[in-house]
């Protein structure tokens, strides 16, 4: 295919080919290359910011884990899973911003994961802002030594910074 597209894992390549139809852009090799370039930039931003926040990169996250977590989907969407407090979590979902059948963002208090989540699997929610997501590419877990309040604050700040950078990446994809 092309340079950026070839750098993406095959399972994500397949997903990008499917979602490219939802981007309201011509279905060409150039479109796939632009989406791939954007996806790689988002992956780099995500990895850099979770590293700066001292979050633990994980292959899975148990639904009863009391810590908060942040996940990046194959589509490049963000899922902010707040710490477990009084049996519920604040969960927010921010989409990649191009797909027409998915909300740009949604948030819900007192939501929960319906099951443990894992890389290469979807996240499902009970009472969540969305019912389920595309498959997860990365999961990062908050440090256990932080209070739930501090985890909430850190996750909120982190998501704001990542979202701002993702918006800038999206602008380059559209161009």
pTM value is: 0.89
Q: Is a pLDDT exceeding 60 seen at residue 92?
A: yes
Instruction: Count how many Cα atoms sit within 13 Å of the Cα of residue 95 in the half-sphere of its side chain.
Output: 18
Phi-psi region of 145 (alpha: psi -120 to 50; beta: other; left: phi over 0): alpha
Of the pLDDT bands very low, low, confident and very high (cuts 50, 70, 90), residue 76 is confident
CA angle (53 as vertex; 51, 56 as ends), nearest 5: 60
CA angle (36 as vertex; 30, 38 as ends), nearest 5: 105
Domains of the chain, residue spans: 1-175
- pLDDT tens sequence across 9-64: 999 988 888 777 766 666 788 888 888 898 999 999 999 999 999 999 999 999 99
């Amino acid at each position: 295919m092309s340079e950026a597209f070839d750098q993406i894992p095959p399972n994500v390549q397949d997903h990008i080919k499917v979602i490219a139809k939802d981007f309201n852009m011509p279905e060409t090799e150039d479109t796939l290359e632009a989406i791939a370039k954007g996806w790689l930039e988002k992956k780099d931003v995500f990895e850099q910011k979770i590293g700066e926040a001292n979050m633990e990169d994980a292959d899975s996250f148990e639904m009863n884990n009391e810590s908060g977590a942040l996940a990046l989907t194959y589509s490049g969407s963000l899922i902010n899973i707040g710490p477990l407090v009084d049996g519920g979590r604040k969960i927010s979902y921010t989409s990649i911003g191009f797909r027409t059948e998915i909300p740009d963002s949604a948030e819900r208090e007192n939501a929960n994961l319906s099951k443990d989540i894992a890389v290469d699997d979807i996240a499902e929610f009970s009472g969540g802002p969305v019912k389920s997501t595309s498959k997860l590419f990365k999961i990062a877990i908050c440090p256990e030594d932080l209070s739930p309040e501090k985890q909430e604050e850190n996750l909120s700040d982190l998501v704001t910074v990542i979202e701002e950078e993702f918006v800038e990446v999206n602008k380059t994809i559209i161009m």
